[in-house]
C-alpha cells in the first residue's frame, strides 16, 4: 500500500522560501513519475510540478522560475523548493504519485493515483 507523507509547510512572508518534503512507503520515486499539486480555498486543485523517473521536470506556468522539484532516490523522498513566494501561492500542497514510468507524464490530475494528506503553505503579503 502506498503512503505519502508531506512535511515542511508553514507560514512565511512574501518573498520568502520554504522546502516541502514527501516521504514514500510502498512506492519508489526512482521508478515512476511523481509531482506536487496545490489547492487554495474555493479553487480547483492545480498541478505545480512533476518529475519523471529519469529526472525530467515540468512546472505550472505560475511557478516557473521560482519553484524547483527534485528527488533523492536514496532517501526515497520528493522535494519542492519554493522561492520568491507570493500571497497567491497560499494553498494546501499535496504530493502525488503515478504509475507512469516513461518520460511522458503530463501534470494532469487523472494521472496521479496516490496522494498524501497535504501540508499547508501560507504566504502573507
User: For the chain, what is the mean pLDDT?
Assistant: 96
For residue 101, name the pLDDT band (cuts at 50, 70, 90). confident
Q: Which three cell numbers stand for residue 55?
A: 529526472
Segment 105-114, tens digit of pLDDT:
899 999 999 9
The pLDDT of 65-83, averaged and rounded, is 97
Query: What DSSP string runs through 51-106?
Result: E-TT--EEE-TTTTTTEEEEEETTTTEEEEEE-S--GGG-EEEEEEE-S--SS---
pLDDT at 93 over 90: yes
The stretch 60-80 carries a mean pLDDT of 97
What number is the average pLDDT over the span 56-83? 97
| Confidence at residue 59, expressed as pLDDT on a 0 to 100 scale | 97
Per-residue pLDDT of 11-44, as tens digits, reads: 999 999 999 999 999 999 999 999 999 999 999 9
What one-character-per-residue DSSP string does 2-51 give? Answer: -EEEEE--EEEETT--EEEEEEEES--TTTS-EEEEEE-TTS--EEEEEE
Amino acid at each position: 500500500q502506498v503512503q505519502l507523507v508531506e512535511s515542511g509547510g508553514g507560514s512565511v512572508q512574501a518573498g520568502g522560501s520554504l522546502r516541502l518534503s514527501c516521504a514514500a512507503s510502498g512506492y519508489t520515486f526512482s521508478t515512476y513519475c511523481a509531482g506536487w499539486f496545490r489547492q487554495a480555498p474555493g479553487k480547483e486543485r492545480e498541478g505545480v510540478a512533476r518529475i519523471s523517473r529519469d529526472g525530467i521536470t515540468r512546472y505550472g506556468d505560475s511557478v516557473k522560475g521560482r519553484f524547483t522539484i527534485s528527488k533523492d532516490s536514496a532517501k526515497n523522498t520528493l522535494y519542492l523548493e519554493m522561492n520568491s513566494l507570493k500571497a497567491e501561492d497560499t494553498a494546501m500542497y499535496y504530493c502525488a504519485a503515478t504509475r507512469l514510468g516513461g518520460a511522458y507524464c503530463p501534470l494532469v490530475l487523472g494521472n496521479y493515483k496516490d496522494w498524501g494528506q497535504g501540508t499547508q503553505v501560507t504566504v502573507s503579503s
